[in-house]
Amino acid sequence: MDELITRLIVGVGIDRSAAEKAVGINLDFLVKGGLADKIQLLLAKFPGAVSFLTNSTGARGGGLMDGVMPACA
């Protein structure tokens, strides 16, 4: 996840906080969009991604990570 954040900081020219929020929002969108089975595979490839997603989105919506957290934790 850190490499992705760094690429956003350098490539787009935003600060770390904004880059983390942007990634969190996008991951949140994928989870909520009904792609939980696919996002599990993605999150499993990025060390710390599940905790990053939870921290970045503030775990909005109660069941945001239902079906994703158990498989990736």
pLDDT of residue 15: 94
Span 6-34, average pLDDT: 87
What local confidence, expressed as pLDDT, does residue 38 receive?
79
Per-domain residue ranges of the chain:
2-72
DSSP annotation string for the chain: -HHHHHHHHHHH---HHHHHHHHHHHHHHHHHTT-HHHHHHHHHHSTTHHHHHHHHHTTTTSSTTTTTHHHH-
pTM attached to this predicted model: 0.64
> pLDDT averaged over the chain?
74
Q: Is the pLDDT of residue 16 over 50?
A: yes
Neighbour tally for 10: CB within 10 Å: 10
Q: Could you tell me which residue, 12 or 31, shows the higher pLDDT?
A: 12
- The answer to whether 23 and 58 are in contact (CB under 8 A) is no
